[in-house]
Structure 1
Amino acid sequence: MAKGETIGTVDTAFKLIGRDHDIIVEAYDDPAVQGVTCYVSRARTGGVKGSLGLAEDRSEASISCHQVGPIQFSAPIPKQEQVFSERISLVFKRLRVVRMVDMQRHTLIYLTYSDRLIDGSPQNSVTAVPIGTQTPIQLKD
């Protein structure tokens, strides 16, 4: 699973004690597709609980993936695969990014959403990276 690189943050609410509420923007390089980077923005809860990692962050997130270099596949990829995951609460809630392959349009689709052990959220965001027919996409069986 790829690790995120923090690009920046913007404060959204002042907290007297602990970190302010903020929005964080992180970059994730797709581990199986060289030349594709996804940028994910999400809200983070501040205050004492947020600073200690005990607060539950909101489920909303936005994603934008782009070709940042020549596209290369290190190996055949699955038609659908989780490529990034990050904890957004102490135990049960995760932010996930799933890559899907649209072979007909020669495009990679990236979907972000959050889930919990029992109940997930319908909040989601999607982005697409066209590959072009000159770069073959090989799928795993």
Structure 2
Amino acid sequence: MKRAGLILGALVLLLIFLGGWWLISRPDRGTTGEVSTRFRLMGANDKIVVDGFDDPKVKGVACHISRAQTGGIKGTIGLAEDTSDASIACRQIGPISFVDEIEDGEPVFDERRSLLFKHLQVVRFFDRTRNVLVYVSYSDRVIEGSPKNSISTVPIMPWPNP
């Protein structure tokens, strides 16, 4: 029984390490900044983290997403469940071109918000009538998601030649 507990503990630590490594090593996004929102005596403080990322199928669009990150001992070791609060802003930063065919509701960003069951996601829609890209951020869970969401739109405009 003791050995099974040790093996389970080692597997949990390995999953935490691999999950953290995957988030850190992603070349398509990076942390732009963070601000502390609550002091914690033990472990990291609670904070708001801002990440920037490019839409993988639409060149010329960059997005920034801010989200709450729980600190404390559980947050420091990756066991805390972060809240569903997030905000997104996307802008045209150059001439817009489509790398591949895009689909409505296609995910462009995904981040783990708890050890196993909760994810923060950003999906993209194309409003062809208005020629606008629409980005929606939300949290989902295996059983029950959250109605909290944020939206950003990018009108596809001509880009001036330098």
TM-score with structure 1 setting the length:
0.90
Query: Per the alignment, in what secondary structure is the counterpart of residue 42 of structure 1?
Result: strand
Structure 2: 5+ residue runs without aligned partners?
1-25
CA-atom RMSD in angstroms: 1.6
Radius of gyration: which is bigger? 2
The sequence identity of aligned pairs, in percent, is 52
1:1-141 alignment runs, 5 A limit: 3-132=28-157
Q: Which amino acid aligns with 2:151?
A: V
Look up the SS of the partner of 2:75 in the other structure: helix
Length-normalised TM-score, structure 2: 0.79
Which structure has more relative contact order (CA 8 Å, sep 6+)? It is: 1
AA in 2 matched with 1:59:
S
Runs of 4+ aligned residues of structure 1 deviating over 4 Å after TM superposition are: none
Specify whether residues 128 and 2 from structure 1 end up closer, same or farther in structure 2 by C-alpha distance, changes over 3 A only.
farther
Q: Is the 8 A contact 1:2 1:31 kept in 2?
A: no
| Paired positions, count | 134
Instruction: Show CA shifts across 1:61-118 (max 9, x none).
Output: 0000001122111122113311111001010000000000000000000000001000
In terms of fraction of residues, the more strand-rich structure is 1
CA contact (8 A) 1:2 1:30 kept: no
Cα deviation, residue 30, structure 1: 0.2
In structure 1, runs of 5+ residues without a counterpart are: 136-141
